[in-house]
Amino acid sequence: MITKSIPNMFTIGNLALGMIALILALNGKYSMAAIMIIIAMLLDGLDGRVARALHVQSEFGKELDSLSDVISFGAAPALLMYMVTLQSMPESIAWTATVIFPICGAIRLARFNVRAGTTGYFIGLPIPAAGGVLATLSLFHNEISGTYMIIIMLLLSYLMVSRVKYPNFKKVGLPKKAVLGAPIVIVIAVAIAVIFPEQISKLIFIPLVIYAIYGVKQNIETALRRRRHKKKEEDPLHLDN
């Protein structure tokens, strides 16, 4: 019984950190709020792997994971961005962008739960990646204007509900013995993050952005290949230069 609860403890930790991130954002502690979201991403990446390693996957855990993700990677990053940058924008625009992001995230999660995806790929940008980009992006508010922040926020919202394919690393297995070491990894990660919150957040921003852009790039290249292939089929005499 205890073994079955272990993955859910990671998921609940994810949810708890999302709520803490909301509170920190409301209290003006933006770097720490971003760090809480990043650590929540770590827990989110571990819960499924732990469940598979212990052979205790369940529908309950799947639904709990989605509900937690809406808070940690939908509502928390959106509120953080609003508190940092969007409050200075026209109210109607700021409120709309802030609300759209978690809505698109919820749609993305609901679609993931009811539709079979492509093996090895996610359809649409996963909400943890989108939330991570938004949370870490907020720390660049002194370098990036509010207008660009809103554009990026809406773009991330679109990517979550798009048909763009992204590599799925969640299927990468976790040895059963490694489950015992997971809490140690989390404690070390939290300790480092608390000491260097802004530096760590900005550092993590880079791979998250690369991941978000990678899917778009691959999608464009696939579309171009299909167009060239279709053109060749329609014109058998066509020769590439």
> Domain segments of the chain: what residues?
2-234
Judged against a pLDDT cut of 50, whether residue 212 lies above it is answered with: yes
DSSP H or E run through 183: helix 178-195
Structure confidence at residue 116 as a pLDDT band (50, 70, 90): low
Structure confidence at residue 241 as a pLDDT band (50, 70, 90): very low
Q: How far apart are CA 34 and CA 137, in angstroms?
A: 9
Q: How far apart are CA 135 and CA 226, in angstroms?
A: 35
Which residues face 121 on adjacent strands? 167
Of the candidate CATH numbers 3.40.50.970, 3.40.50.1100, 1.20.120.1760, 3.40.50.2300, the domain formed by 2-234 belongs to 1.20.120.1760
Structure confidence at residue 118 as a pLDDT band (50, 70, 90): low
pLDDT winner (highest mean) among 92-106, 179-193, 220-234: 92-106
Q: Express each pLDDT in 60-82 by its tens digit.
A: 888 899 999 999 999 999 999 99
Structure confidence at residue 206 as a pLDDT band (50, 70, 90): confident
More confident residue, 241 or 214: 214
Q: Express each pLDDT in 151-180 by its tens digit.
A: 999 999 999 999 888 888 765 555 555 555
